[in-house]
């Protein structure tokens, strides 16, 4: 007989029919502490009804005339979730967590019904039908719930200890709402299991014995005897009729509870729930009127957070000194993707999104996945539904009670991340990422301070950061853009990642310390890749959150790059043409014709490139990167350091002077100290495109300047090795010996002339020679260059070529830096190119030069142009004047800009000789006055003149020479302009205490030797100029390398007993040879003579 047919019968008919109905068997089996299984059969077990089976048996202990239908039996009607008000004092909920994922609702119900009457029980499942590892049980009596908590809390169920919390109760006289999806009549949609393991770690069993089900039971078992002796409450026929009506109503979806929305007499206007604020207010009202149960039911039915209801729940928890309610709310929200993403919504995105959502069913028959869509929210725009301010206030409030909820959040997030990860790995990924609220989750979780808690880092934080690599580039890009708009949160986000990276570095250090044979690189540490991946996303947001150069400036810089490339080609072509003219005059006409054709084709190509650049300001770049597929070394370097997200965002790192946060905030010094950059590079270059895995080399923003310099030096040495290798095989097979090194021989009296001839020829004719290791010989002098002679060469040539007699540069007394002379003779192109090549060679050979340029020069060497902001360091006096012009207030000062400043668009610049050169910023500039309306234009044009146009003829050949050496290196991709300055000129900050602490001693000296003590006393008493001379004497440069003087590793060796000989130095090894002088006065005298007469003497 079907259920619908049963509902048509009267109660007496049902009783008469079922009295004559034989009981059929049900699902049976032995349920024990360790095993599953058993036999099938019907009947009873120690006087109890066997569950399952067909028919409606009468329990054997029910006397005739007072038979109870099993649907309304005290121990079974609870399974239906039917509401009963008679004979019940209170109802209390238990929340069970840490359940094995295989435990079903049926298992939970069977377990807890041994204690007392269970109204409802169910396991929590996610959208995919997977268990969340939690469940809830509602008892009819508070005493039963308390007993169950005391008896089962901490005991193992299927191998995992249960964590059981008591939620609360409400008087039975109040209307009570059932919880949908509860256990119904022992049937849980096919999720029944044949048994489960229940272990008492202390006692070894539950209740001291086993419980049988079906025909397999029997015996005087303790568990069953307790239940069998439980006194059943008397229920009258009127009670049965009332409950049958309630059952019929519920089957027709007509709940009798006026607080249940399925009741036709529902107490509220349903529109109240369209606004979460109104719903929350009503929930709070019910809380104050009837206690905490209604608020608990609100948590179950409205699973999202807003500021008002969170504050009320916290207040209630504080009043009762019971944090279970808040913990349950937090777990319910933070363990479910939909619940968390729907929290803290803007008022312009209310519940209408939830009410008008599109629903799609997953492949699972037991779950549905709802994805919320709104036409205003797309992956291509920056709109989100999250109310950032409300969210941050609420999280701050929540974290005031971190001790009470920390563990709950940790457990909930573990469930949440598993759910999101599964969805992103499924066919629902696109729908999920287009969910209007989905992206909210990442901002909410990033706001949690506990994300930096060491307890969270290795599991919860790792799972969170792992999700980012599974996201599409489109949603990653949207995250970056949104975060850039809410950049005030960026500092906290970066702090999370830096703590995460530091803890994983510490963990790696522990591994290597315990296992000394462990050669695993820091980059191989589990979780390091995930941390750097997300940190790079934040780095991009940091750039977007700062000020980018204007489109006009960027377009000008791209045009300059293209023009420079063409000029380099033409310069080489002219050099080759000159050589051809000298070698073969007979074919001059033919050569000129071919040259014209080539130039014509080149011109057409340039026009095409120019048109393309005009149409698309952003140059085309491949979205995939690989070291092995580039068509040139330049393309190879670009492909290595670019990635799809950067390309999607259209980011060029050097288009930003600075980020919202300092760039150093993204460098983890502790981790950088542990990076073995040599091994990282070797591991990286051995990879193939198919096996390319994480390497710090792909994240230059994270590397310290010291590590980037080391990486560049390795790259340069590899280039040198390749040239040696090529030279060797060329000599082997052709019989013509090629020098594996780039050697030049110069005369001290003709230093610039000889250097020009050698460098210009190699740079134009054979640019590959510049990639070889650089060696210098001084004509007529003995000695092999192991670094010292090269340092001296660079020192001498820079002193000569920057001297005023050449007129190429002029010194600024205020900044003590050099700048191009705008009136320099036009025939100095070769000399300017030489200086540019020297800068490139110094970088390529790790030599620090004794020169000082303003920071804007290094920006220009990176392809940038000078702007007003650069004047602050290059022309500080002019910068202050122009800044006053821009900020001048005519109303406040009572005069106009014209009268106050008396400026026109014709300006003058002082050259190296002190003469004033006049320039018109605009045509007929002398007659155009600077006013309040055009002063911004004046400042822009004047800055452009000072830093770009007035020195264009001088800077271009200088830049050419620099690119001849560095053009195909990763210099631009690895370094910022300020770091290039350190590469070229080192640091002027000198700490000789660092030099002393890092010094090493040889030949019999120790740090306690009397001569060594005298030496340091003498050196520390020197003036700054004398100290710099000592540095130049011992190392070849008076600048400190990046990282300070401690990185020089000065070696002081004993050079015999007391003598009249002077100290000497090996600059290539930073070795200082010091005789064992008898007194401090003698040491001072000899040392001063040596450092003041060092050129060409004592430098070995």
Query: Catalytic residue positions?
Result: 1068
Q: What is the DSSP letter of 1004?
A: T
- Adjacency order of strands within the sheet including 156-157: 160-161, 156-157, 198-199
Q: How far is CA 660 from CA 394, 448, 547, in A?
A: 25, 22, 8
Q: Identify which of 697, 685, 629 has the alpha carbon closest to the alpha carbon of residue 974.
A: 697
Q: How far apart are CA 75 and CA 235, in angstroms?
A: 13
Residues forming beta bridges with residue 918, ordered by sequence position: 908
Q: How far apart are CA 1003 and CA 658, in angstroms?
A: 49
Please give the structure tokens belonging to residue 290: 């009837």
Buried b (16+ CB within 10 A) or exposed e, 94-130: bbbbebbeebbbbbbbbbbbbbbbbbbbbbbbbbbeb
Q: How far is CA 952 from CA 723, 821, 852, 962, 981, in A?
A: 34, 11, 20, 15, 21
Q: What are phi and psi of 902, to 5 degrees?
A: 50, 50
Q: Identify which of 659, 700, 392, 385 has the alpha carbon closest to the alpha carbon of residue 548.
A: 659
Q: How far apart are CA 800 and CA 805, in angstroms?
A: 9
Contact in structure between 284 and 295 (CB atoms under 8 Å): yes
CB count within 10 Å of CB 898 equals 15
Task: Give CA 200 to chain center in angstroms.
Answer: 45
End-to-end CA distance of the chain: 109
Contact in structure between 173 and 85 (CB atoms under 8 Å): yes
Q: How far apart are CA 882 and CA 868, in angstroms?
A: 9
Q: How many helices, marked H, and strands, marked E, lie in the chain?
A: 45, 23
**SS3 call for 676:** coil
- Scanning the structure block, which residue is given the tokens 């370094």? 975
Q: How far apart are CA 320 and CA 111, in angstroms?
A: 30
Please give the structure tokens belonging to residue 271: 């529109």
Q: Pairing state of beta strands 163-171 and 131-139?
A: unpaired
Residues forming beta bridges with residue 178, ordered by sequence position: none
Please give the structure tokens belonging to residue 1051: 């070696």
Residues forming beta bridges with residue 164, ordered by sequence position: 96
Cβ neighbors of 195 (< 8 A, separation 6 or more) are 29, 30, 31, 32, 35, 36, 37, 38
**SS3 call for 204:** coil
Q: How far apart are CA 76 and CA 78, in angstroms?
A: 5
Write the DSSP string, 433-486: HT-TTTTHHHHHHHT-GGGGSHHHIIIIIHHHHHHHTTS-HHHHHHHHHHHHHT
CB count within 10 Å of CB 631 equals 8
Q: How far apart are CA 225 and CA 223, in angstroms?
A: 6
Please give the structure tokens belonging to residue 489: 């949160």
- Scanning the structure block, which residue is given the tokens 């990185």? 1047
Instruction: Quote the crossing angle between the two packed helices 751-765 and 788-801, to the nearest 10°.
Output: 110
Contact in structure between 796 and 752 (CB atoms under 8 Å): no
């Amino acid at each position: 007989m079907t259920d619908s047919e049963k509902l048509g019968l009267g109660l007496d008919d049902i009783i008469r029919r079922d009295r004559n109905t034989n009981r059929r068997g049900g699902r049976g089996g032995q349920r024990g502490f360790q095993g599953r299984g058993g036999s099938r059969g019907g009947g009873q077990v120690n006087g109890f009804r066997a569950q399952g089976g067909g028919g409606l048996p009468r329990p054997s202990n029910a006397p005739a005339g007072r038979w109870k239908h099993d649907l309304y039996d005290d121990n079974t009607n609870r399974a239906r979730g039917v509401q009963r008000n008679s004979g019940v004092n209170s109802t209390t909920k238990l929340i069970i967590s840490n359940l094995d994922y295989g435990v079903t609702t049926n298992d939970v119900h069977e377990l807890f019904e041994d204690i007392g009457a269970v109204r409802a029980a169910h396991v929590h499942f996610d959208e995919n039908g997977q268990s969340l590892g939690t469940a809830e049980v509602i008892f009819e009596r508070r005493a039963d719930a308390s007993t169950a908590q005391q008896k089962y809390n901490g005991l193992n169920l299927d191998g995992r200890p249960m964590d059981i919390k008591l939620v609360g109760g409400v008087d039975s006289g109040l209307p009570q709402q059932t919880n949908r999806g509860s256990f119904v009549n022992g049937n849980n949609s096919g999720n029944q299991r044949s048994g489960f393991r229940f272990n008492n770690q202390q006692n070894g069993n539950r209740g001291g014995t086993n419980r049988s089900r079906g025909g397999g039971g029997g015996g005087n078992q303790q568990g069953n005897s307790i239940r069998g002796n439980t006194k059943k409450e008397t229920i009258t026929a009127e009670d049965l009729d009332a409950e049958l009506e309630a059952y019929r109503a519920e089957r027709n979806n007509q709940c009798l509870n006026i607080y249940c929305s399925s009741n036709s007499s529902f107490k509220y206007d349903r529109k109240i729930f369209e606004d979460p604020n109104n719903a929350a207010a009503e929930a709070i009202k019910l809380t104050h009127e009837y206690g905490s149960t209604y608020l608990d039911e609100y948590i179950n039915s409205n699973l999202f957070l807003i500021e008002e209801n969170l504050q009320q729940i916290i207040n209630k928890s504080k009043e009762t000194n019971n944090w279970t309610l808040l913990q349950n709310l937090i777990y319910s929200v933070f363990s479910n993707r939909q619940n968390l993403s729907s929290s803290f919504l803007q008022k312009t995105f209310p519940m209408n999104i939830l009410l008008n959502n599109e629903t799609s069913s997953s492949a699972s028959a037991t779950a549905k996945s709802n994805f919320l869509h709104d036409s205003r929210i797309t992956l291509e725009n920056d709109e989100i539904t999250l109310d950032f301010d409300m969210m941050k206030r609420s999280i701050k409030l929540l974290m005031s009670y971190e001790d009470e909820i920390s563990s709950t959040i940790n457990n909930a997030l573990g469930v949440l991340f598993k759910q999101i990860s599964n969805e992103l790995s499924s066919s629902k990924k696109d729908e999920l990422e287009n969910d209007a609220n989905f992206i909210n989750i990442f901002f909410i979780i990033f706001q949690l301070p506990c994300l930096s808690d060491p307890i969270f880092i290795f599991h919860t934080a790792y799972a969170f950061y792992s999700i980012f690599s599974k996201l599409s580039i489109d949603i990653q890009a949207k995250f970056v853009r949104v975060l850039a708009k809410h950049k005030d949160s960026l500092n906290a986000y970066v702090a999370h990642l830096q703590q995460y990276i530091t803890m994983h570095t510490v963990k790696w250090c522990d591994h290597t310390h315990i296992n000394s044979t462990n050669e695993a690189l820091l980059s191989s540490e589990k979780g390091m890749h995930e941390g750097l991946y997300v940190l790079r996303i934040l780095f991009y947001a940091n750039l977007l959150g700062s000020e980018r150069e204007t489109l006009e400036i960027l377009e000008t810089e791209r045009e300059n790059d293209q023009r420079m490339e063409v000029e380099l080609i033409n310069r080489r072509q002219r050099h080759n043409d000159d050589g051809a003219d000298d070698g073969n005059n007979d074919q001059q006409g033919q050569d000129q014709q071919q040259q014209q054709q080539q130039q014509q084709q080149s011109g057409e190509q340039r026009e095409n490139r120019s048109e393309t650049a005009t149409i698309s300001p952003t140059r085309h770049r491949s979205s995939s990167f690989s070291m092995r597929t580039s068509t040139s070394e330049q393309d190879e370097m670009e492909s290595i350091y670019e990635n799809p997200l950067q390309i999607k965002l259209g980011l060029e790192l050097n288009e930003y002077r600075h980020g919202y946060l300092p760039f150093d905030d993204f460098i983890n010094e502790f981790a950088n100290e542990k990076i073995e950059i040599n091994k990282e590079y070797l591991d990286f270059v051995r990879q193939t495109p198919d096996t390319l895995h994480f390497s710090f080399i792909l994240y230059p923003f994270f590397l310290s300047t010291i590590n980037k310099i080391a990486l560049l030096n390795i790259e340069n040495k590899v280039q040198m090795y390749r040239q040696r290798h090529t030279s060797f095989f060329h000599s082997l097979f052709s019989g013509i010996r090629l020098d594996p090194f780039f050697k030049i021989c110069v005369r001290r009296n003709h230093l610039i002339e000889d250097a020009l001839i050698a460098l210009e020829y190699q740079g134009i004719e054979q640019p590959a020679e510049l990639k070889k290791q650089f060696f210098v010989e001084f004509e007529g002098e003995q000695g092999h260059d192991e670094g010292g002679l090269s340092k001296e060469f660079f020192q001498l040539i820079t002193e000569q070529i920057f001297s005023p007699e050449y007129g190429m540069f002029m010194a600024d007394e205020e900044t003590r830096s050099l700048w191009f002379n705008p009136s320099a003779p036009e025939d100095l192109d070769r000399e300017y190119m030489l200086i540019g090549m020297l800068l490139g060679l110094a970088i390529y050979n790790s030599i620090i030069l004794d020169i000082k340029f303003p920071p804007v020069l290094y920006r220009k060497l990176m392809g940038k142009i000078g702007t007003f902001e650069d004047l602050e360091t290059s022309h500080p006096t002019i910068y202050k004047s122009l800044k006053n012009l821009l900020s001048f207030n005519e109303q406040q000062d009572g005069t106009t800009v014209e009268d106050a400043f008396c400026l026109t668009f014709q300006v003058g610049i002082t050259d190296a000789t002190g003469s004033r050169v006049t320039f018109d910023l605009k045509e007929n500039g002398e007659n155009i006055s600077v006013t309040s309306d055009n002063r911004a234009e004046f400042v822009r044009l004047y800055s452009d003149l000072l830093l770009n146009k007035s020195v264009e003829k001088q800077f271009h050949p200088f830049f050419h020479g620099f690119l001849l050496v560095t053009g195909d290196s990763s210099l631009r991709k690895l370094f910022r302009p300020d770091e290039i300055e350190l590469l070229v000129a080192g640091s002027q900050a000198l700490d000789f205490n660092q030099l002393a602490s890092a010094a090493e001693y040889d030949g019999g000296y120790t740090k306690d030797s009397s001569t060594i003590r005298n030496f340091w006393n003498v050196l520390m008493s020197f003036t700054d100029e004398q100290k710099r001379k000592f540095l130049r004497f011992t190392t070849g440069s008076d600048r400190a390398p990046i990282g300070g003087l401690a990185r020089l590793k000065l070696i002081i060796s004993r050079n015999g007993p007391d003598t009249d000989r002077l100290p000497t130095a090996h600059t290539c090894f930073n070795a200082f040879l010091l005789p064992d002088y008898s007194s401090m006065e003698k040491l001072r005298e000899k040392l001063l003579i040596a450092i003041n007469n060092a050129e060409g003497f004592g430098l070995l």
